[in-house]
A and B are shown apart, each in its own frame.
Chain A
Amino acid sequence: MSTDIAANDSIGEINKYDFRTESKAVFKARKGVDAEIVNQISEMKNEPQWMRDYRLKALEIFNSKPMPSWGGDIDIDFQDIYYYLKPTDKQGRTWDEVPQEIKDTFDKLGIPEAEKKFLSGVKAQFESEVVYGSLKQDLSDQGVIFTDTDSAVREHPDLLREYFGTIIPSTDNKFAALNSAVWSGGSFIYVPKGVKIEFPLQAYFRINAENMGQFERTLIIVDEGASIHYVEGCTAPMYSSESLHSAVVEIICKRGSRCRYTTIQNWANNIYNLVTKRAVAYADATMEWVDGNLGSKLTMKYPAVYMMEPGARGEILSIAFATKGQHQDAGAKLVHCAPNTTGQIISKSISKNGGRSSYRGLVKVEKGAKKSKSNVVCDALILDPKSRSDTYPYIEILDQDVSVGHEASVSRIGEEQMFYLMSRGLSEAEASTMIVNGFIEPLVKELPMEYAVEMNRLIQLQMEGSVG
Chain B
Amino acid sequence: MSHILRIENLHVSVEGKAILRGVNLEMKFGETHALMGPNGSGKSTLGLAIAGHPNYEITEGSITLDGEEITEWEADQRARAGIFMAFQRPVAIPGVKTADFLRHATTNVRRPDRKEGEDLIPMREFRKELKSKMEQLKIDSEFARRYVNDGFSGGEMKRAEILTMAMLSPKFSILDETDSGLDADAVKLASASIAEIGRDKMGLLIITHHDKLLEHNPPQFTHVMLGGRIVETGGSELARELHDHGYERIRKTYPDAEAANQEMLGKEEPAAV
Contact digits for B90-131, partner A, Cβ 8 Å, 1 yes 0 no? 110111100011001100110010011110000000000000
Question: A465 contacts the other chain (Cβ, under 8 Å)?
Answer: no
Give A400-437 interface residues, CB cut-off 8 Å to B: 414-417, 419-431, 434-435, 437
Question: B228 contacts the other chain (Cβ, under 8 Å)?
Answer: no
Nearest to B106 among chain A residues (CB) is: A425
* Minimum CB–CB distance for A430 against chain B, Å: 6
* Minimum CB–CB distance for B273 against chain A, Å: 6
* Minimum CB–CB distance for B106 against chain A, Å: 8
Question: A440 contacts the other chain (Cβ, under 8 Å)?
Answer: yes
Contact of A419 with B54 in the complex, beta carbons under 8 Å: yes
Interface locus among B22-30, B79-87, B189-197, B256-264: B79-87
Question: B31 contacts the other chain (Cβ, under 8 Å)?
Answer: no
Contact of A425 with B95 in the complex, beta carbons under 8 Å: no
**Contacts A10-B117, A419-B53, A438-B96 known; A426 to B91 CB distance under 8 Å?**
no
A341 to B109, CA, bound (A): 52
**Contacts A424-B79, A438-B147 known; A415 to B95 CB distance under 8 Å?**
no
Q: In the complex, what residues of A have CB within 8 A of residue B93's CB?
A: 417, 420-421, 434-435, 438
Question: A240 contacts the other chain (Cβ, under 8 Å)?
Answer: no
Contact of A420 with B87 in the complex, beta carbons under 8 Å: yes
* Minimum CB–CB distance for A417 against chain B, Å: 5
**Contacts A3-B115, A416-B273, A421-B101 known; A435 to B96 CB distance under 8 Å?**
yes
Secondary structure of the B side of the interface? Answer: mixed
Contact of B51 with A423 in the complex, beta carbons under 8 Å: yes
Contact digits for B57-88, partner A, Cβ 8 Å, 1 yes 0 no? 00000000000000000111011100011010
Give B111-167 interface residues, CB cut-off 8 Å to A: 112, 115-118, 147-148, 164
Question: A26 contacts the other chain (Cβ, under 8 Å)?
Answer: no
* Minimum CB–CB distance for A439 against chain B, Å: 6
Q: Which of A426, A429, A430 has the most chain B CB atoms closer than 10 A to its own CB?
A: A426
* Minimum CB–CB distance for B73 against chain A, Å: 11
Q: In the complex, what residues of B have CB within 8 A of residue A424's CB?
A: 79, 101, 104-105, 108-109, 164, 168
Nearest to A438 among chain B residues (CB) is: B95
Contact of B94 with A438 in the complex, beta carbons under 8 Å: yes
Question: B220 contacts the other chain (Cβ, under 8 Å)?
Answer: no
A426 to B75, CA, bound (A): 9
Nearest to B53 among chain A residues (CB) is: A419
Question: B55 contacts the other chain (Cβ, under 8 Å)?
Answer: yes
Question: A110 contacts the other chain (Cβ, under 8 Å)?
Answer: no
Contact of B85 with A423 in the complex, beta carbons under 8 Å: yes
**Contacts A425-B168, A427-B116 known; A437 to B74 CB distance under 8 Å?**
no
Q: In the complex, what residues of A have CB within 8 A of residue B147's CB?
A: 438, 441
Contact of B118 with A437 in the complex, beta carbons under 8 Å: no
Nearest to A7 among chain B residues (CB) is: B115
Q: In the complex, what residues of A have CB within 8 A of residue B116's CB?
A: 427, 429-430
Contact of A434 with B76 in the complex, beta carbons under 8 Å: no
Contact of A434 among B52, B55, B96 (CB under 8 A): B96
Question: A43 contacts the other chain (Cβ, under 8 Å)?
Answer: no
A428 to B87, CA, bound (A): 19
Contact of B118 with A6 in the complex, beta carbons under 8 Å: yes
Contact of A2 with B118 in the complex, beta carbons under 8 Å: yes
A140 to B90, CA, bound (A): 55
**Contacts A420-B87, A420-B93 known; A434 to B118 CB distance under 8 Å?**
no
Contact of B76 among A2, A427, A439 (CB under 8 A): A427
A-B CB proximity, top 8 nearest = A438-B95, A441-B95, A425-B108, A438-B96, A424-B105, A425-B79, A422-B75, A422-B76
Report which A residues bind B (CB closer than 8 A). 2-3, 6, 9-10, 414-417, 419-431, 434-435, 437-442
Supply 22 A–B pairs (Cβ within 8 Å), ascending by A. A6-B118, A10-B117, A420-B91, A421-B105, A423-B52, A423-B53, A423-B76, A423-B85, A424-B104, A424-B168, A425-B79, A425-B104, A425-B109, A425-B168, A426-B105, A429-B116, A431-B76, A434-B96, A437-B96, A438-B93, A438-B96, A442-B95
14 additional A-B residue pairs with CB within 8 Å, beyond A424-B164, A426-B108: A415-B54, A419-B75, A422-B52, A423-B51, A423-B85, A425-B104, A425-B105, A427-B108, A434-B93, A434-B100, A434-B101, A438-B95, A439-B94, A441-B95
